[in-house]
Amino acid sequence: MSVAEIQKNASALPEKERAKLAAWLLDSLPPSAEDDAGAESLEEAERRREALDSGRVQPVPEKEFWAGIELERGQWK
């Protein structure tokens, strides 16, 4: 079975079932080679916080964020 066939079949599942499948798939992956809480990740978080605090970047409103997520999800089918 191809990835495209799996995606097509999975997209027909109810949302809760797709969420269970997604969680299982993520859990089935090996741990990341990089430590997610490592110094590099913390430095990136600090840079992003400083960019927000300084006003150089503006946060995306929640409704706009979720609308973008829904738009992306619609393209998966």
Give the model's pLDDT for residue 25. Answer: 92
What pLDDT does 42 receive? 86
pLDDT in tens, 11-63: 999 999 999 999 999 889 887 766 556 788 889 999 999 999 999 999 999 99
Q: What is the CA radius of gyration of the chain?
A: 18
- Does 2 have pLDDT greater than 90? yes
Residue 49: predicted pLDDT:
93
Q: What is the pLDDT of residue 75?
A: 83
pLDDT recorded at residue 36: 58
Residue 61: strand, helix, or coil: coil
